[in-house]
Structure 1
Amino acid sequence: MTYSALCRATAAVAVAAVLLPACATRPANTAPATASSATAPANQFALDSTLRRIATLQDERRTSALLPYLGHAEARYRQAAAEALASVQDKAATPRLLLLLQEDDAPRVRQLAAYALGQSADSTAETGLYQQLPHETDAATRHYVLEALGRCTSRAGLPSLTKLPPALATDTAALSGQAWGLYRAGLRGLTSEAAVARLVQLLAAPNTTSARLAAANALARTRGLNLAPYTAALTTAARHDRHYAVRAGAAQALAKAAADPSVPATLAALARRDPDYRVRLSALRAMSGPMFAPVKEAAWAALTDENAQVALTAAEFFLANAANEPGPTLLEKAQALPEWRVRATLLAAALRQPGAGREAIRGAVQERYTAATDAYEKSYLLKALGEDPAAFDFVREATFAPGHALVVGTYGMEALIAQRRLADFPAARQPDFALTLRQAVLGGDVAQLGLAAEAIRDPKLNLRRLLPNTDFLVAARAKLVLPRDLEAWQSLQQTIDFLRGAKPTPVPVARAASHPIPWDVVMALPAAPHAVVRTSKGNVVLRLLLNEAPGSVASFVQLVGEGFYDGKNFHRVVPNFVAQGGCPRGDGWGSTDYNLRSEFADLHYGEGAVGLASAGKDTESCQWFITHSPTPHLDGRYTIFAQVIEGMDVVSRLEIGDRIDKVELVK
C-alpha cells in the first residue's frame, strides 16, 4: 500500500480490529503463540533445491509448472506447491486443489489446499469444499475448509455456512472456522439475519478465543448491519471479555447499535476506563454525530489521554462530528494541546465550524505554519487549512514554494483538493483550481500529479469542462519511469481513459524476470534472521520470515545492507492500525526501481506483523508497515515478511515524522 492506496483504506481502518496476537499460522482452536515464542525452522531453501524451484515458480506465476508438485511423493513438496498457488491465485488450479483436499493423506497438505482455494476466491470451489466438510477427519483442516468457504461461498450457500451439521455443533475447531468463514463472507458483503445471530452466539464467553475474535471482527466490519437487537451481548463483550481485541471489536460494533439509548454511555465509559488504549480508541471511533451530546465530555477528556493515539482519535471525533460548536472554543483547546498532530486535527475541527471567529482561527493556523520547523507538522497544518476555502491562496503558495520538503507539497495538494470539495468553495475560483491542477501535473512531482489526476477524473468536481484536453496528461505520463512511478502512472492513465471515454487500461505489473529472487542472498542468511530497527523512540526487533517470504526478505536485507532505510521517517501512522515507513520521499509516494511479487504464505496479520506496502498485487517495493493490533482484513492481500519480537511498546508510541536512525541485521 503506497501513500494514496493506504489512505484510501483508512476509512476501513476505523473498524480494523481483531485476529491474533501475532502473525502466525492459525491453529483451529485457540489463538497461536506469537512468532517470538515459536521455534525457528532451518533455512529450508539452503537445504533443498526443490523448495527453491517451487518458490521460483511461485514468483514467476507459473501455474502449469507448479501443478505436478501437487502429486509429488514427498508431502513437503505438495505443501509447498499448494501454498505457492495461494500466492499465484490462478483459478485454473482449482480442480487439482480440490482433488488434493479430498484425497491427500497428510492433514497439513489438505489445510494448505483449502487455504489456496480460499485465496483464489473461486466460486466453483464452493461445492467441493462443502462436500469435504463432513468427511474431514482432521480438526484443524475443518477450520481451514470453513474459512475458505467464507472466501468462496455464494449467497445461496451462505445458510450452509451459518448452520453447521449437527455432528460439528460442539467441535471447537469447526466453531472457530465457522466464525472466520462468516467474517470472510461478511467482508464480501454476504450476510444475513441468521449469520448475524450466529456471530453473536459465537461472541459469547464460553467460546474459544479464536471464535470470539472472529465474531467480534465480523460484527465490527460487515457493512449495513443493524445490531441494536444485540446491544446487551455486545456490551457484555466490550466490557468484560478477557482479550483486548475482542473488547475493541465489540466496542466498534456498538456503532451499529447506536439506536439503543444505552450505547452512548457504554462507549463513554469504555473511552474513559478500559485499561487497554486500543479499546479506548475503538470506543471513540464508534461514537457518532447523533450521540454527540452524551459522549462529548468523554471525548474532551480523551484529548489528554496518556496515549497519543487515543488523543488523536478524540480530535478526529470532533473533526468528524462536531457541528455548531464555537470555533474559538475549539481553537483555545487546540492551542493548549502538546501533541502537534492532535492540535492540528482539532484546529481543523475549529475551521470546519460555522459562525464567527473563522478568520482568527485561520490566522492562528497560518501563523503556526510559518513558525513550524518540522515538515510533518507543517504538512498537517496545511491539511487543517483544507477545511477553509478562504485559505486557498496561502495553501497554493505553500504547495508550490521552492525548496520545501516533498511531504509539504503532497499534503498541500491534498488540502487544495479538499477545499475544492467544500460546498462553500467560491464558484469564481474554480478556474484557478483547475489551473492549479494543471500546474501540478506539468510540474512532474509524482505525488502532486497523481493527486491532481485523481481530482480531474472525479465526476463530482466536474472538471471535464475546464480541462477537456488530455495532451498535458499524456506528456506527464511519458516522463514517468516504470515500475518506480507505477501509482502516479495508474492515476494519470485512469484520468486519460476517463476524459477520453475509453475502457480502463490494464496496470503494467512488472514480471519476475525484471527482479528475480536473489537466491545467493537467501541461502547466505541464517535460519532465523533478525533485524533491529533503531528509531528516535527506541529499538524494535524483527524476526524475518525467510521460509515464508524469501523474495521479500531478500529485498529487505539487500536494502538494509545498502543503508537504504537509514535516516528515513515513519511517514504514516494510523491509530490502532499501522506505523509505516521506508519511503525514500517521506510522503508514501516513493519506491525503488523494481517491484516484487506478493508472497501470501499461510500467515495472518496479528499485533506486530510486518507487511510490505503495495499499490495492488505484485507491486511491492521498499515500504513496510507494522500493525498495532490484529488487522485480518489484510490477510492474503499484503505480504507478511517479518514479526516484531521486541519493542511493541515502541511501536505503539511511534508518530508521523519519527526517524528511522538505522536498520541493522543481527544474528
Structure 2
Amino acid sequence: MKLRYTWLLALGTLASCQYLPLQRSGTTTTEPANNKFGDITLQQIYTLQDERNTTDLLPYLSNPNSAYRQHAAMAFASVQDTAALQALLQTLQDSVANVRGASAYALGQLGHRQAEADILEQLQQEQTPEVQAQLLEALGKVGTGRAAEFLASYKAPNPDALAGQAWGIYRLGMRQQHTPQVVQKAIELLTPATLYEARLAAAHFLARTPRLDLTQHRQQVLNTATSDKAPEVRMAAAQALAKVRALDKATFLSNIAQSDPDYRVRLSAVRSMSGLEFSEISKAIVAALQDQNVNTAIATSEFLVVNNAGVPVQMLQDVLPNLLDARVRSNVIWVILKNSQPQNRVYLNPRFKQQYQNARSAYDKAHLLKALSGDVNNYEFIAEQVFLAEEPVIATTGMDALILMRQQPDFPKRLEPAFADIFKHAVASGDVALVGMAAAAIRDPKLNLRSQYSNFAFLTQAQEKLQLPRDMETNIELQKTIDYLSGKQETVIPQNPFTHPIDWQLVKTIHPNQQVLVRTEKGSITMQLFVEDAPGSVANFVELTQQGFFNDLYFHRVVPNFVAQGGDKRGDGWGSSDYSIRSEFTPLHYYEGYVGMASAGKDTESNQWFITHSPAPHLDGRYTIFAKVIDGMDVVHRLEVGDKIVSVEVLNLQPVVTSSAR
C-alpha cells in the first residue's frame, strides 16, 4: 500500500514517515534518541503544538532553520488557530519547498476562505510537484466558485499535481462547492489510464458528495465499478451507482454483488440497492446474506433492517437456519418480527427471547436483544434487560434497540409517554453510555419529545455527576439536549483541560520503524508506529501497551468496509480514560490498514483506536493517524464485534543511529 504522495521531496520510506531531513544548525541542542526528537528544538515545537500555544509557536515560522519553520507550519494543521492565518500565508511563499508544502497543508486544515486567493496565486508560480499537490488539495478545503472553476480546468503537469487536483476536487465535494464542470472532470479522471490515486479520489468524490445525480454518467461509473483493476476504486464507484437512475439498476448491481472477487465491492453494490423493489434484488440479497465473507453478510443484513418494506417473512425464515453469525441472524430476526403478522409474533417472540437467554457471550446477547426490537411489544422486556444488565454492551445495545423502536414511522402514539420515561430513567442511571444515548434521543426533532418533559432538571443533575475529561462525549450530548429543550443556540463546549503532556523521555526510546504485535482470537496483526508523525499518540499507545491495558479487551465496533475498533475497557464504545490527548494531523491519507485514534471530536482522544478496511478519505485531517498494519490485514478483514484482543506487545527492534540535525 502506497501513500498518495509524500508531502515533501519524496524522502525516506513509508516506514519511516520522515517528511524531511533536518537541516544542520550550529545552535541545536541534541540528546541521545532513536528518532528525530533528540532535537530539543523539535521537542519544543511539538510541545507548543500539543499545548495549542499559538503565541509562542508563531516565531518559529521565521526561524533561520527551515526545518523548524516547516515543523512549526505543520503544527498549525493540528492547532487550527486562525490567528496564524496571515503568518501562514507569508510562509506559503517561503524560499524552501518543504516549508511551502507544510504551510499549504496547514492552511487547508484551517479551512478559512481568505486563503483561497493566495493559494491560487501561489499555484501560478509553484514549480515543485509535491507542493503543487498540497496546494491543490488545500484549495479544495478552502475554496469557493473560483477554486471549483480552477480545479475543473487545471492541466496537471505531473503525477503529484494530478493526485492533488483529484483530492482537491474530492474536498470541494465534501463542502458541496462543486459545479457540473467539476463533476465532469471527476468522470474524466475515472479512465483506466489515469493515475491510481486520481481515480481513487475521483471515485470517492462521486460516491460521497451529497445529492449528485449521476444518471447521465451511468456508463462511465458502471465501467469503473466493474472493470477498474483496483478494488478500492471499484468499491467507491459501486457506491456511486446509488446515484444513477436506470431501469436495469437492479440487474447491474445484482451482478456486481454476486460476482466481484473483493467483498468490499460486493457489499458496496448491496448498499447501493436502496430504493429498489425487493422483488428485483431478492436473489442477490439472499446470496449476499450467505456470502463467504461475513462482512458482506453483515452489511446485507443491515441493509434489510433499513430497507425492510416488502421483504417477505417466509423467505427470511427459510434462510435463517443457514445463517450462523449472531449479528447477521439478529438483523434478520429483526426484519422477521417487523414484517410478521401480529398473530405470528405471539409464538415468534418467546422463541427469540429464549435464544437471547441461552446466548453464551455478552455480544451475542446484545445482538439478540436488539433483534427483539423488531416488535414494539417487546419494549418492556428490552427496557428491563437494559437496566438489569451487568455487561455494559448489553445495556448499550438494548438502549440502541429502544431508540430504533422509537424512530420507526409506525411507532404507536400511545407509547410515547412510556418511552419518554425510559429515556429519563436512562439519563438518571449514571451510566455514561445510557445517559449520552438517551440525551441524544430526547433532542431528536423527529421524535418531538420536548412536550414530554415539563422540567428538565434531570439533565443538569446528570451533567453535574460527570467526570471530565473522561466523560466529555456524554457531557457534549447532555449540553446539546439542555440547549434544545431550552430553545437556545448550542452552547460552545469548553475545550478539554490540558492533561497528559507528551512523555518525551518515552518518545525518544521509540524506533522510527517501531512495530507492535496485536494478538487476536482470529490471528496476529503487526502494526508499525509513526512516532515521527504523531509522537503524543504513539507515546500514549506504547505506555498503555506496556501497562497491559489492551490485553483481554474486545473489538467492540466493526463496520463492514470501514473500520474495526477496539481499546475500550467497557467494551461498548463509551469507555475512556481519565485524561485526554491532543489530535495530531499530518498529510497522511487513510488507506487500507491505517490505524487512527478514535475521538468524540478534536483533542478528545484517549485509548480507543481503529484500523481501516479500505480508504476512508473523509477521516483525513480529522482523526489522528499513528500507525499502519504491515502484516495481518487478512486478520483485520475477518474481525467481528466481540473478537478478543488477547495481547498487544511492543516488539524489540535494533536501535538506529540518527542525527537530530542532519
Which TM class, normalised by the smaller chain length?
A: over 0.9
The change in CA–CA distance for 1:200 and 1:133 in structure 2 (over 3 A counts) is: same
Aligned ranges for residues 447-458 of structure 1 at < 5 Å? 447-458=433-444
The separation in 1 between residues aligned to 2:267 and 2:9, in whole angstroms, is: 28
The aligned counterpart of 1:96 is: 87
The aligned counterpart of 1:172 is: 159
2:514 pairs with 1:529: yes
The aligned counterpart of 1:318 is: 304
The aligned counterpart of 1:83 is: 74
Which range moved further: 222-231 or 308-317? 308-317
The aligned counterpart of 2:353 is: 366
1:420 corresponds to which of 406, 413, 416: 406
Amino acid of the structure 2 residue aligned with 1:559:
L
The aligned counterpart of 1:660 is: 645
The separation in 1 between residues aligned to 2:71 and 2:14, in whole angstroms, is: 23
Aligned ranges for residues 300-339 of structure 1 at < 5 Å? 300-339=286-325
1:636 corresponds to which of 599, 612, 621: 621
The change in CA–CA distance for 1:34 and 1:339 in structure 2 (over 3 A counts) is: farther
The aligned counterpart of 1:411 is: 397
The aligned counterpart of 2:213 is: 226
The separation in 2 between residues aligned to 1:302 and 1:33, in whole angstroms, is: 40
Unaligned runs of 5+ in 1: 1-20
The separation in 1 between residues aligned to 2:346 and 2:2, in whole angstroms, is: 48
2:198 corresponds to which of 211, 225, 232: 211
Q: Do the aligned residues in 1 keep the contact of 2:585 with 2:624 (CA within 8 Å)? A: yes
The change in CA–CA distance for 1:180 and 1:29 in structure 2 (over 3 A counts) is: farther
Aligned ranges for residues 23-172 of structure 1 at < 5 Å? 26=6, 35=15, 43-102=34-93, 104-164=94-154, 168-172=155-159
2:576 pairs with 1:591: yes
Q: Do the aligned residues in 1 keep the contact of 2:140 with 2:167 (CA within 8 Å)? A: yes
The change in CA–CA distance for 1:648 and 1:319 in structure 2 (over 3 A counts) is: same
Root-mean-square deviation over aligned CA pairs: 2.2
State the secondary structure of the residue aligned to 1:289: coil
The change in CA–CA distance for 1:653 and 1:287 in structure 2 (over 3 A counts) is: same
Q: Do the aligned residues in 2 keep the contact of 1:28 with 1:177 (CA within 8 Å)? A: no
1:539 corresponds to which of 516, 524, 532: 524
Give the C-alpha shift of residue 394 in structure 1.
Answer: 1.2
The separation in 2 between residues aligned to 1:617 and 1:39, in whole angstroms, is: 24
Give the C-alpha shift of residue 338 in structure 1.
Answer: 1.0
The separation in 1 between residues aligned to 2:347 and 2:8, in whole angstroms, is: 59
Q: Do the aligned residues in 2 keep the contact of 1:22 with 1:33 (CA within 8 Å)? A: no
TM-score by length of 2: 0.92
Q: Do the aligned residues in 2 keep the contact of 1:22 with 1:630 (CA within 8 Å)? A: no
The separation in 2 between residues aligned to 1:25 and 1:171, in whole angstroms, is: 12
2:454 pairs with 1:468: yes
If asked which structure has higher relative contact order (CA below 8 Å, sep 6+), I would say 1
The aligned counterpart of 2:492 is: 506
1:489 corresponds to which of 448, 465, 475: 475
Amino acid of the structure 1 residue aligned with 2:334:
A
Q: Do the aligned residues in 2 keep the contact of 1:86 with 1:115 (CA within 8 Å)? A: yes
Aligned ranges for residues 229-248 of structure 1 at < 5 Å? 229-248=216-235
The change in CA–CA distance for 1:35 and 1:292 in structure 2 (over 3 A counts) is: farther
Give the C-alpha shift of residue 28 in structure 1.
Answer: 9.6
The aligned counterpart of 1:16 is: none
The separation in 2 between residues aligned to 1:71 and 1:33, in whole angstroms, is: 28
2:285 corresponds to which of 296, 299, 302: 299
Amino acid of the structure 1 residue aligned with 2:633:
M
State the secondary structure of the residue aligned to 1:542: strand
Amino acid of the structure 2 residue aligned with 1:541:
T
The separation in 1 between residues aligned to 2:170 and 2:202, in whole angstroms, is: 7
State the secondary structure of the residue aligned to 2:628: strand
Aligned ranges for residues 263-278 of structure 1 at < 5 Å? 263-278=249-264
Q: Do the aligned residues in 2 keep the contact of 1:383 with 1:414 (CA within 8 Å)? A: yes
Amino acid of the structure 1 residue aligned with 2:440:
E
State the secondary structure of the residue aligned to 1:290: coil
Q: Do the aligned residues in 1 keep the contact of 2:140 with 2:147 (CA within 8 Å)? A: no
State the secondary structure of the residue aligned to 1:189: coil
Q: Do the aligned residues in 2 keep the contact of 1:324 with 1:354 (CA within 8 Å)? A: no
Give the C-alpha shift of residue 148 in structure 1.
Answer: 0.4
Give the C-alpha shift of residue 466 in structure 1.
Answer: 2.3
1:282 corresponds to which of 257, 268, 284: 268
Give the C-alpha shift of residue 332 in structure 1.
Answer: 3.2
Give the C-alpha shift of residue 315 in structure 1.
Answer: 1.5
Which range moved further: 296-305 or 348-357? 348-357
State the secondary structure of the residue aligned to 1:386: helix
The separation in 1 between residues aligned to 2:549 and 2:63, in whole angstroms, is: 41
Give the C-alpha shift of residue 355 in structure 1.
Answer: 3.6
Which range moved further: 191-200 or 362-371? 362-371
TM-score by length of 1: 0.92
The aligned counterpart of 1:9 is: none
Amino acid of the structure 2 residue aligned with 1:75:
S
The change in CA–CA distance for 1:53 and 1:147 in structure 2 (over 3 A counts) is: same
The change in CA–CA distance for 1:358 and 1:332 in structure 2 (over 3 A counts) is: farther
1:647 corresponds to which of 626, 632, 640: 632
The separation in 2 between residues aligned to 1:445 and 1:595, in whole angstroms, is: 20
Give the C-alpha shift of residue 650 in structure 1.
Answer: 0.5
Give the C-alpha shift of residue 555 in structure 1.
Answer: 0.9
Q: Deviations over 1:158-205 (max 9, x none)?
A: 2122111xxx35543332222111100100111121111110001111
Which range moved further: 570-579 or 288-297? 288-297
Percent of aligned pairs sharing the same letter: 46
Give the C-alpha shift of residue 26 in structure 1.
Answer: 4.4
Give the C-alpha shift of residue 38 in structure 1.
Answer: 9.5
Q: Deviations over 1:100-139 (max 9, x none)?
A: 222x222222111111111110100000000111201111
Aligned ranges for residues 346-361 of structure 1 at < 5 Å? 346-353=332-339, 355=341, 357-361=344-348
Give the C-alpha shift of residue 360 in structure 1.
Answer: 3.6
State the secondary structure of the residue aligned to 1:287: coil
Q: Deviations over 1:478-519 (max 9, x none)?
A: 11100011111111222222222233222232233x221111
Give the C-alpha shift of residue 573 in structure 1.
Answer: 0.1
The separation in 1 between residues aligned to 2:236 and 2:330, in whole angstroms, is: 28
Amino acid of the structure 1 residue aligned with 2:323:
L
Q: Deviations over 1:409-450 (max 9, x none)?
A: 011111112212223333332222222122111111111111
State the secondary structure of the residue aligned to 2:600: coil
The aligned counterpart of 1:18 is: none
Give the C-alpha shift of residue 143 in structure 1.
Answer: 1.2
The separation in 2 between residues aligned to 1:414 and 1:510, in whole angstroms, is: 27
The separation in 1 between residues aligned to 2:218 and 2:484, in whole angstroms, is: 45
Which range moved further: 635-644 or 329-338? 329-338
The separation in 1 between residues aligned to 2:105 and 2:450, in whole angstroms, is: 45
Q: Do the aligned residues in 1 keep the contact of 2:139 with 2:147 (CA within 8 Å)? A: no
Which range moved further: 92-101 or 201-210? 92-101
The aligned counterpart of 1:378 is: 365
The change in CA–CA distance for 1:268 and 1:26 in structure 2 (over 3 A counts) is: farther
The change in CA–CA distance for 1:26 and 1:184 in structure 2 (over 3 A counts) is: farther
The change in CA–CA distance for 1:416 and 1:38 in structure 2 (over 3 A counts) is: same
State the secondary structure of the residue aligned to 2:596: strand
The aligned counterpart of 1:14 is: none
Give the C-alpha shift of residue 617 in structure 1.
Answer: 0.5
Q: Do the aligned residues in 1 keep the contact of 2:595 with 2:610 (CA within 8 Å)? A: yes
Q: Do the aligned residues in 2 keep the contact of 1:545 with 1:642 (CA within 8 Å)? A: yes
Give the C-alpha shift of residue 280 in structure 1.
Answer: 1.2
2:422 pairs with 1:431: no
The separation in 2 between residues aligned to 1:36 and 1:85, in whole angstroms, is: 22
Unaligned runs of 5+ in 2: 22-32, 653-662
Q: Do the aligned residues in 2 keep the contact of 1:531 with 1:664 (CA within 8 Å)? A: yes
The change in CA–CA distance for 1:263 and 1:282 in structure 2 (over 3 A counts) is: same
2:181 pairs with 1:181: no
Which range moved further: 475-484 or 65-74? 65-74
2:543 pairs with 1:552: no
State the secondary structure of the residue aligned to 2:388: coil
